[in-house]
Chain A
Amino acid sequence: EAQVTQNPRYLITVTGKKLTVTCSQNMNHEYMSWYRQDPGLGLRQIYYSMNVEVTDKGDVPEGYKVSRKEKRNFPLILESPSPNQTSLYFCASSLREGVALHFGNGTRLTVT
């Protein structure tokens, strides 16, 4: 089944403890992206990648890192999480010139 898989679905952590949210797609998509969703602010893009080893900042990249060493994987790294990073995170992927963006099921992160 074609899908974007994010893990974990739920994560509660403490300030400063490094964490990684994984994202994997099995559709051979070139484009992958991370978004955070907060009430009243919609979906804000954190980082995106047009292909392996190519990443670019979105609108809210501060406090996040990404890597794209393989085409299928695009992990989101929070080196030192803070409470303002408590949010719902989505990973998504698409063909380079695709007309559909495929979303993962989301990761709800709480930083205390």
Chain B
Amino acid sequence: AQKITQTQPGMFVQEKEAVTLDCTYDTSDPSYGLFWYKQPSSGEMIFLIYQGSYDQQNATEGRYSLNFQKARKSANLVISASQLGDSAMYFCAMRGWNYGQNFVFGPGTRLSVLP
């Protein structure tokens, strides 16, 4: 079975500072992908970043980077230079490529950026 854990129900960060949102996962699938999604107050789900389990380098997309530590089974999202528009719910998710190929989501972290 696959499981995603996000231990931070809520986080605060000052505008222009960096913030790390934690995500740990559990899977028996040797090949998998890790994802982060953002959900602003308007409700839509926005794909942010993807990391494959065999990727050698950590994924980056603009101000978003994924700190992937395979041995620790962690896939933390780092947002640099936070902006007020980053205030949202953030979901970590994974997909196993060999067993079922289902998407599994964590409970989410609510990030609030303070001016």
Chain A interfacial positions (CB closer than 8 Å to B) = 31, 33, 35, 40-45, 48, 50, 56, 58, 88, 90, 92, 94, 96-97, 99-101, 103, 105-106
Contacts and interface: CB of A to CB of B under 8 A. Distances in A.
A40 B9 CA distance: 8
Interface of B: 6, 9, 33, 35, 37, 43-45, 47, 50, 52, 91, 93, 95, 97, 100-108
Given A31-B101, A97-B97, A101-B93, A42 B43 contact: no
B91 A43 contact: yes
A99 B105 contact: no
A90 B101 contact: no
17 contacts: A42-B106, A43-B91, A43-B105, A43-B108, A45-B102, A48-B103, A88-B43, A90-B45, A97-B97, A99-B33, A101-B35, A101-B37, A101-B93, A103-B44, A105-B44, A106-B43, A106-B44
A16 to B, nearest CB: 27
Nearest to A31: B101
A97 B9 contact: no
Contacts, number: 57
Nearest to A30: B101
Contacts of B50: 99-100
A105 B40 CA distance: 12
Contacts of A97: 97, 101
